[in-house]
Structure 1
Amino acid sequence: MKKARTTITDIARELNISPSTVSRALNNHPAISKKTRDAVIELAKTLNYQPNLLALNLLRKRTNTIGIIVPEITSSFFSSVINGIQDLLSPLGVNMMISQSNESMEEEKSILRSFASIRVDGFLISPSSETKNFDHLKILTDNNIPLVIFDRDCEGLEVDKVFVDEYSGAFQAVEYLVKTGCRRIAHIAGPLSLSTARHRLKAYKDALALHHVPVKEEYIVESSGFTPEHGIKPTQKLLALPSPPDAVFAINDGVAIGAMYVIKKAGLVIPDEISVVGFDDDPHSCYFSPSLSTVWQPTYELGMLSARILMKRINSNNDLSDIRVEELYPELIVRGSSK
């Protein structure tokens, strides 16, 4: 039979004193004599007493725990963000509870309710692709629970936010393709419910317009996700056009890798006949043949800054008089998949 966990009541019973005396002794209260305090500490060690940290923190109105909700955990993007968060929180003695919404708003709501029920001190959330209504997030702010939104925007929600400048990164990529001689530049966009996808699409159009390259709607196709599989059908559609593209700018590296697979299978040579550029700088991107040109994002710094802002908000009792919106800057990485 599993041995029951030792409690303050057990120590009090053994020493024939009150539980409140034991509690004060363990917390080095000055009203408790040295003799009693030493006896309590010695017996606590003998019985392997472990304090109930959750109960103690609730009494102090803190759980020292942060709730983190991301669309998915397995991608290099979000795993790097989480590394940045952890490296900021761990030295502070703050714990993390991490869960993924699987790009589902309903799952996001369910996780949020679960985390809120155990009274986490604050939330770091990257919204799902289905999250178009923000009422469940506004409940947090209405109840004075600190919240930082990162990576994907919730437009109109007045909370701290940390982003990468998606527009700048996409503009760099498309402008580079134009300057290397590409004129039929296609864009495989992400789900346009996402702010990140909309910003990259706008940058694509603006970069072409700036360099007097016509924007043709048939060269813009939307993917339903972010894996290599999501790049296959859009690329097949593009290659079937009467005048197929001579370059593809993909919403992310996963979709770009799927595009490269289709292009190679069609017998086209990358980059001689068609250039490909992705977004995110996935750690595996440089190992493909040819290696993938892409836009690097400071994901680790994104996580660390988001966590720093949240902790400052928590420690200031969530004073919302000065909302912060921060942007980090990406960088184009040119490799073998583009001219």
Structure 2
Amino acid sequence: MTTIYDIAKATEYSITTVSKVLNNYPNVSEKAKKKVLQAVEELGYTPNSSARTLATNKSWMIGVVFAEHLGVGMAHPFFSEVIESFKKQVELYDYDLLFVSRNMGLQKRTYKHLKHRGVDGVVVVQSLGEEAIEYSTSKLPTVFVDMPIEKSSAVYSDNKQGGMLAVDYLYGLGHRKIAHIAGRDTMFTAVERTRGFKLATREKALTIPEQYIVDGGYYSYEGGREAMVRLLGLEDPPTAVFVAGDEMALGAIKVIKEAGLRVPEDISVIGFDDIPLSKHVDPPLTTIRQDKQLIGQQSAVLLLDKINGLSKNNQDKIVPVQLIKRNSCSAL
């Protein structure tokens, strides 16, 4: 088996220089790079992970802490796309991912476990409540997804702008009785989407009854169903509904149809996320698209910069959202 010592002997460069080339250090001459990489090809050298760890003082492992409230884990359509994008980006730099189990997260031991495993950094998807403070105040490079945390870096969509886009679109179609099925107000994303909804309705001088804003829970299909039942039970129901999540929107549409009403002829519905299923339902769902690929990429770039000492300041990256017009909304 070819070792780094064989590469050094064949090229007549030191082991340190060979190691720098193999780990893509910038302070190596082009001549040395060319000669070392040629020897790697000719001798069939495959890096040993343990040797690489010793040479670079890195584990080449990134911890992934996933906290969501529906219990579906990585099957969640939004977060699975974000993590896949994050994974592709860090793999370009030879990093592996270490996923922390949900049960360990519930026991609030994730931080100690990841420190014990020697990860170089952590990406936290969604919020961990009080445990998030342990990450944000530690020296372990950490980036949060979908939840800004004080003293740490985060990447999230422009949720407020998404709420405003939804109201603007419905208002432009002639709707004045616009309701909102909100996410649980313990979630940053839900609060911001509702804030955008309220801001846009105030700007348009719309009077929104308190009963028009309904808690749909943690973005679930059932939560959307239950919230829509409450809206249809009002004495003066809305003509349009902005729903804070696509799965909730699908539940709301189901209830509308079960009540003998039509979407969008009787009630227009607009969602948030643009999950893959949204374009295949009947009618195809108008929604606010989150750029899940960009969220994953930006999270990876921020974290890798922290790990490599290229960024010492904490910063938030707010990813723009986009209105996707389909067939679940129509003019009043």
Would you say same fold, with TM above 0.5? yes
Give the aligned partner of residue 129 of structure 2. Answer: 132
Give the aligned partner of residue 118 of structure 2. Answer: 119
Cα distance in 2, alignment partners of residues 281 and 306 from structure 1: 20
Give the aligned partner of residue 257 of structure 1. Answer: 250
What letter is aligned with 2:147?
Answer: R
Change (3 A) 1:26 1:328: same
Cα distance in 2, alignment partners of residues 93 and 63 from structure 1: 11
Cα distance in 1, alignment partners of residues 324 and 315 from structure 2: 29
Segments of 5+ residues of structure 2 without an aligned counterpart are 15-45
Number of residue equivalences: 293
Give the aligned partner of residue 78 of structure 2. Answer: 77
What letter is aligned with 1:328?
Answer: V
Aligned pair 1:316/2:309, yes or no?
A: yes
What letter is aligned with 2:61?
Answer: T
Deviation at 1:137, TM superposition (A): 3.3
Cα distance in 1, alignment partners of residues 54 and 230 from structure 2: 56
Give the aligned partner of residue 5 of structure 1. Answer: none
Cα distance in 2, alignment partners of residues 256 and 161 from structure 1: 27
Larger radius of gyration: 1
Give the aligned partner of residue 37 of structure 1. Answer: none
Change (3 A) 1:301 1:211: same
Which structure 2 residues correspond to residues 21-36 of structure 1 after superposition, within 5 A? 25=5, 28=8
Matched-pair contact (CA < 8 Å) for 1:132–1:193: no
- Give the 3-state SS of the residue equivalent to 1:83 in structure 2: helix
Cα distance in 1, alignment partners of residues 51 and 212 from structure 2: 58
What letter is aligned with 2:80?
Answer: S
Give the aligned partner of residue 32 of structure 2. Answer: none
What letter is aligned with 2:325?
Answer: V
Matched-pair contact (CA < 8 Å) for 2:179–2:208: no
Aligned-pair identity (%) = 30
Give the aligned partner of residue 206 of structure 2. Answer: 213
Cα distance in 2, alignment partners of residues 294 and 51 from structure 1: 46
Aligned pair 1:234/2:240, yes or no?
A: no
Give the aligned partner of residue 152 of structure 1. Answer: 147
Equivalent position to 2:195, from 189, 202, 221: 202
Equivalent position to 1:64, from 38, 43, 60: 60
Give the aligned partner of residue 94 of structure 1. Answer: 95
Matched-pair contact (CA < 8 Å) for 1:123–1:147: yes
Cα distance in 1, alignment partners of residues 110 and 91 from structure 2: 22
Cα distance in 2, alignment partners of residues 232 and 251 from structure 1: 13
TM-score (norm 2): 0.80
CA deviation profile, 1:266-297 (whole Å, cap 9, x unmatched): 00111111000000001111111111000011
- Give the 3-state SS of the residue equivalent to 2:288 in structure 1: strand
Deviation at 1:227, TM superposition (A): 2.1
What letter is aligned with 1:176?
Answer: Y
Cα distance in 2, alignment partners of residues 330 and 24 from structure 1: 48
Give the aligned partner of residue 182 of structure 1. Answer: 175
Matched-pair contact (CA < 8 Å) for 1:221–1:234: yes
Give the aligned partner of residue 268 of structure 2. Answer: 275
Cα distance in 1, alignment partners of residues 250 and 162 from structure 2: 18
- Give the 3-state SS of the residue equivalent to 1:192 in structure 2: coil
Cα distance in 1, alignment partners of residues 65 and 269 from structure 2: 32
Deviation at 1:138, TM superposition (A): 3.6
Change (3 A) 1:179 1:323: same
Change (3 A) 1:123 1:268: same
C-alpha RMSD of the superposition: 2.6
Cα distance in 1, alignment partners of residues 117 and 7 from structure 2: 24
Give the aligned partner of residue 3 of structure 1. Answer: none
Segments of 5+ residues of structure 1 without an aligned counterpart are 1-10, 12-21, 33-49
Change (3 A) 1:23 1:216: same
Give the aligned partner of residue 4 of structure 1. Answer: none
- Give the 3-state SS of the residue equivalent to 2:253 in structure 1: helix
